Structures are given as C-alpha cells and as structure tokens.
Structure 1
Amino acid sequence: MTRSRETEPGTAAEDGFDHLIHAPVRLRVCAALEPVREIEFGALLTLLDISKSALSKHIAALAEAGYVTQRRAVRDTRQRVWLHLSETGRSAYRGHVAALHRIVGDARIP
C-alpha cells in the first residue's frame, strides 16, 4: 500500500493541512513553542498537563519530522532538555493553522 503525500508523516498537504501536527497534543506542543525561542521540557510538561512518556512520544514524532529540535544543558546541577520549533516546524505549524482557518471559515456557533 502506498501512502499519499497527505498522509505521509511530517508532510503537509498542498493546502497546508499537516496530519502529523493535527494530533491534539502535537498541535498544543507546536502552539506552545511557536511564540517562544525555546521552552524547557518540564515547563512544557506542566503547561500541557500530560505524562512525561506521552510528551516524550509526541516530541519524538515531531523531532523525527524535523519540526522540533532538542538541546540538552545543565541547569541547577540537573540535566535539562530545551525544545525549539525549527523553521521547518514553524512553517508547517503556521500552514496547518491557516488550513484550519480555511476549513472553519467564518462559521460561528449560534
């Protein structure tokens, strides 16, 4: 079975919709990373209120696609992981959000 460009992980459809980013936790990760230079893994864990293993799994998927990079550094004598949305990830996230806006349009719930 061959995959279409739309369903290939880390590949956006022509309209910008990205199935990898669309998963709720990954969408929230990208939304948290987009406005900042980087964020510490523990802070993101607190912000998203999910388990460490679940966040690690989603970060790994985003990193494999080249959307997120990780930097390890020692802070307060402890090893910390800092996460950064790459330019590829930032572009994919913005394209995905634009695609969602086009899908929703100006629809309002009465």
Structure 2
Amino acid sequence: MNRSEFIAATAIILFGAFLLGWFACWLLHRLTRPGREDIAQHGRIAHALHEAEAARDAARETLAEREAVFAERQAGAAAELRAATEGLREARAEIEELRDFIEQRLARR
C-alpha cells in the first residue's frame, strides 16, 4: 500500500466514522424527541399544577381569615369570662357581707 492509497483509505474510514456518528446522533434525537402527545400532556399537567397552587393559596387565605375570626371570638370569650369571674367575686363578697349583717341582727335579738 503506497502513500496515496493509505491517505485515501484513511479518508474513507474517517468519512465513514463521521457518517456513522452523524447517523447515530440523528437517530438518538429522533428516538428521544418528545411527541405531540407528550407535549400536550405536559401542558395539561402544568395547567393542573397551576390550578392546584391557586386552590392552595385560596385555602391558606380562608384559613387565615378563619383563624382571625376564632382568635377574635376567643378574646371576646376570655373578656366575658374575666368579667363574669369578677362579677361572681363581687357577688360572693356581697353575700358574705349580708350574712355577717344577718348574723349581727340575729345576735342582737
């Protein structure tokens, strides 16, 4: 094999390797490319995810509103409880005063 034949054979082998690599790359991209159905499914999934996030945000807002209402109710109930306790304490003190007064009147008789 002379020099010209060697160069030609090497060139043909390199060109064949190039064509084989190009074909393998083309085939790989052809096989792994997503189809229209996959793209449509990704769109539906993205839309569903967006709706779920919107529903989650709405639920969080509703929860925050309800927590505020319950906290307000609890504060009102605690204030009523304190007022009732204070009223009961005053009533007990008045009852003790009346008992002492009645005992003093009965003792004088």
Task: Select the structure of larger CA radius of gyration.
Answer: 2
Q: TM-score range by the shorter chain?
A: under 0.3
Higher relative contact order (CA 8 A, sep 6+): 1
TM-score by length of 2: 0.20
Higher strand share: 1
